Structure 1
C-alpha cells in the first residue's frame, strides 16, 4: 500500500521550533518507509556531530558508527558528494553490501540488512543526515523509496533553514520612503554628515537637508537618531 506523504510534509512545514520539527519527524517517519531503525544526525559549523536523535538503535551503535563505520560508509560518501539520498544497492555493485567494511564492522552486529541515508542541507552545505535501516528479512529500498525520501529531505531541509534563519519582516515604514530616501537613511545610519551624504550620492548638501525634512515628516520623527531607531530593523 502506498501512503501519501502530504500529511508528513504538512507536519514538517508547520513545526514551530527545531525541537518540534525533530519530534514530529522522528515520531511519524517509520510508517511511511517501513523502517525499524532511524535517526537524525545534525552537524555543527565545524562539521562535527552536534546532536543525534535515534529510534531502534542504542547509544553503543551510534558510538561505534562514529568511531568505525562513518569513515568506511559508501552511502554517506555518496550523500556528502552529491547532496542526494542513496541506499547501499545504489552505490555498491550487486551482492557487495555484505562484503563491505561498513556492514562487517557495524551493520552486521545490529542486523542492519538495508540502509538508506539522505541529506539535510542549508546554505549550500551538508548540515546533517537522515538515516534509515531495515532489519531481518525486510526488502531492500526501492527507487520509489529513494525518490520519496529525497522529497522528505527537501522539506526537512527547507523548514530547518526557516527556523534557523527566520526571514526579516519588512518594516512597513519603508513603504513611505522613496528609493533615494532609503539610500539617505542608510547613510545617516552609518553616521555620515549631510555633506558626506551629498558627496556619496552626487547631490547637493541642501538637497540632502530638504530630503531629510520630508523623511522626518513621513516617519513622524524630529531627529536623525529617532529616524534611525525607527528604521533600525532594516538599516
Structure 2
C-alpha cells in the first residue's frame, strides 16, 4: 500500500486555499484586501491576467492593471451567467469547446473564469481570471476553489462596509453609499481628488462628481464641513 501511494502521489496536484483565505480575513480595509488578492491569486490559479472589479453606485468599474478588459466582462455568456445566477463560471461549462474565441480573440484570454462578489442580495463586483493560449482550461477544481474564495470575499466586503458605517455619524452616513463613505474617509485623511482616484482606481473627475452628490445629500458646501458632519 505504501508503494502504491508513493507511486500515485506525484500525479495529484495539491493546492491549499488557506493562505488566500487568511489574507482575506486579516485585511483591515478594502485596499489591503485588494492588494492581498492581487498578490496571491495569480500564482494560485496559474493565470496570466486577473483582477477584481467593483461596481460603484453609478456602475463605473474599478479596474486593476492586471485585470481583464471589458470585452471579457460584457455581452458574453460567462459574464451573463455570473450576473444572473450570482455563481462562478468558466467558458467550458457554458460554451462548446473553442467557442469562447468568438467573444474574445486575445491570446492571453484563451480561457476565462469569473466569480461573483455579493452583498445584501446584490452583485457588487466580480473576481475575474484568464489563462493564456497554451494553458489548460479551467476545471471543476478551479471552479470549486473560486466559489469558496468568492464566499470569503463577499463576507469580508460586508464586514468592511459595516465597519465603515460604525465609524461615522449614522444619522448622516446612512445617506451615503458604501463607495461614498470610502471617499469621505479618504477626504478626512487629507487626500486630494487625484490621490483618492488613484487609491480607488477611478478617475479624478469621478471623485469630483461623487463629492458633488455627497455635498448635496448632506447639505454641505465644503469638504471640511462634510467631514465634520460625518464625525461620530
TM-score, normalised to structure 2, is 0.62
The ranges of structure 1 where at least 4 consecutive aligned residues each deviate by more than 4 angstroms after the TM superposition are none
Q: Name stretches of at least 5 consecutive residues in structure 1 with no aligned partner.
A: 170-232
1:92 pairs, out of 92, 95, 105, with: 95
The number of aligned residues is 155
TM-fit CA distance, 1:110:
4.7
What is the alpha-carbon root mean square deviation over aligned residues? Answer: 2.1
Residues in 2 aligned to 1:86 and 1:93: alpha-carbon distance in whole angstroms = 14
Q: Secondary structure at the match of 2:64?
A: strand
Provide Cα deviations, 1:58-97, integer angstroms capped at 9, x if missing partner.
Answer: xxx73xx2xx554422101000011010000011123322
1:141 has 2:138 as partner = yes
Q: Name stretches of at least 5 consecutive residues in structure 2 with no aligned partner.
A: 1-12, 168-231
Asked if 1 retains the 8 angstrom alpha-carbon contact of 2:116 and 2:123, the reply is yes
- State the structure with more CA Rg: 1
Matches within 5 A, 1:149-164: 149-164=146-161
TM-score, normalised to structure 1, is 0.61
Residues in 2 aligned to 1:19 and 1:94: alpha-carbon distance in whole angstroms = 37
Residues in 1 aligned to 2:135 and 2:27: alpha-carbon distance in whole angstroms = 31
* Aligned residue in 2 for 1:32: 44
2:53 pairs, out of 41, 58, 77, with: 41
* Aligned residue in 1 for 2:122: 125
Residues in 2 aligned to 1:143 and 1:109: alpha-carbon distance in whole angstroms = 24
Please identify which structure carries the higher strand content: 1
